[in-house]
């Protein structure tokens, strides 16, 4: 059971609709993400903000490879989508996060997944990402 103070902190949202675990994942605060996970906090919780992202999506889009690896290691859904249908892999591709893209693909992320507009990782990625995907 999560200590009361930590539980209250976990359920607090900022003005953008982000829970503290989203901010921790976005900022690369592995220690805090791990703390919440160890107390069985919902690692799949979606933000109430504009995109409705999971912590893994936030970590992927912000190039927080350590957090990405940790979340995947404890079972985070690598195929979870935001409201636009963008997965962690699509977000990493859009933002040119090559090492995150490589890692997600190495653990089986679906590079053929389509967003709500029918676009894939290749369609959304920058040139570095497209070059990498073409080499596979």
**Is residue 91 within 8 Å of residue 101, measured between CB atoms?**
no
3-state secondary structure of 46: coil
Torsion of CA 43, 47, 53, 58, to 10 degrees: -70
Q: Is the pLDDT of residue 18 over 80?
A: yes
Residue pLDDT, tens place only, 67-78? 999 999 999 999
Q: Is residue 120 pLDDT above 60, yes or no?
A: yes
* Span 30-64, pLDDT tens digits: 999 999 999 888 999 998 877 899 999 999 999 99
Please give the residue that has the higher pLDDT: either 54 or 5. 54
Predicted local distance difference test score (pLDDT) of residue 49 = 74
List domains and CATH numbers for the chain: 4-135 (1.25.40.20)
The whole-number average pLDDT for the span 91-110 is: 98
pLDDT attached to residue 5:
59
**Within a 10 A sphere around the Cβ of 122, how many other Cβ atoms?**
15
Arithmetic mean of pLDDT, 96-119: 98
Question: Of the given ranges (31-35, 45-49, 101-105, 127-131), which has the lowest mean pLDDT?
Answer: 45-49
């Amino acid at each position: 059971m999560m200590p009361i103070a930590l539980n209250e902190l976990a359920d607090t949202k900022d003005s953008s609709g982000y829970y503290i675990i989203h901010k921790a994942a976005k900022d690369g605060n592995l220690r805090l993400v791990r703390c919440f996970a160890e107390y069985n906090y919902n690692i799949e919780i979606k933000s109430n903000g504009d995109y409705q992202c999971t912590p893994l999506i936030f970590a992927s889009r912000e190039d927080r490879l350590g957090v990405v690896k940790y979340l995947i290691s404890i079972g985070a859904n690598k195929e979870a989508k935001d409201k636009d249908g963008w997965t962690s892999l699509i977000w990493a591709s859009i933002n040119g996060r090559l090492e995150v893209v490589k890692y997600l693909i190495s653990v089986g992320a679906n590079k053929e997944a389509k967003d709500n507009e029918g676009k894939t990782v290749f369609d959304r990625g920058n040139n570095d990402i497209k070059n990498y995907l073409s080499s596979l």
